[in-house]
Chain A
Amino acid sequence: AQTVTQSQPEMSVQEAETVTLSCTYDTSESDYYLFWYKQPPSRQMILVIRQEAYKQQNATENRFSVNFQKAAKSFSLKISDSQLGDAAMYFCAYRTLLNTGTASKLTFGTGTRLQVTL
């Protein structure tokens, strides 16, 4: 079974600064997807960024980028130019690469609460 570990329960960053959230995972599979989801106080899970394990290039989405180290099973999220609206709980999640008959279960980490200060 796959496991996802987020070792930072809380992080704080000043507005306009950069912060990196850590995530490690354990799997015996070679192909899979990794995601970062953001959960603001409204509690809706919002997709931030996704990474296909078979792609060596790190994914980027505007101010959000990842550092994907497949051999180390590490998947960190970097938020640049932090904004007050980035304050939320961030979850790292793993999903098996979809093949016929494969279910779409996500395995989540425990989350990192990000505070953004002025």
Chain B
Amino acid sequence: KAGVTQTPRYLIKTRGQQVTLSCSPISGHRSVSWYQQTPGQGLQFLFEYFSETQRNKGNFPGRFSGRQFSNSRSEMNVSTLELGDSALYLCASSLLYRGATGNTIYFGEGSWLTVV
């Protein structure tokens, strides 16, 4: 079974540009969530989608947005990039039902974003 797949793995953008990151969850997983990891702030929750609906959002500015498609694939977008947006962006998926397996969240390898 394929894991969570994120593309692109590495990218460099200029301040003011926008970026779109893509995530394909594990087959059958309908919940997709995104996290930002930086040395200073650690791992922070961005948002979560389930059945194409955003169900939870972290404390990030409106420049950070996302969506989920009918096949559960998700994209996140960051507009008007700032230097501080340089980070590892991790996507995760979950079955989302009661029980240990349904409550476990599996991560992709991440997308490294560098803003210059």
Contact = CB atoms under 8 A, between A and B. Distances in A.
Interface residues of B, number: 30
Describe B's contact surface by its main secondary structure: strand
Interface string B83-116: 0000010101010111010111111111010000
Interface string A29-69: 00001010100001111110010100000000000000000
A106 interface: yes
Interface of B: 31, 33, 35, 37, 42-43, 45, 48, 50, 55-56, 58, 88, 90, 92, 94, 96-98, 100, 102-110, 112
Interface of A: 33, 35, 37, 42-47, 50, 52, 91, 95, 97-99, 101, 103-108, 110-111
21 contacts: A33-B100, A35-B105, A43-B109, A43-B110, A44-B107, A44-B109, A44-B110, A50-B104, A91-B43, A95-B103, A98-B102, A101-B55, A103-B48, A103-B55, A104-B50, A104-B103, A104-B105, A105-B56, A106-B33, A108-B42, A111-B42
Given A42-B109, A105-B45, 18 more contacts: A33-B100, A33-B103, A43-B110, A44-B107, A45-B92, A45-B107, A46-B107, A50-B100, A50-B104, A95-B103, A97-B98, A98-B96, A98-B102, A103-B33, A103-B55, A105-B33, A106-B45, A107-B45
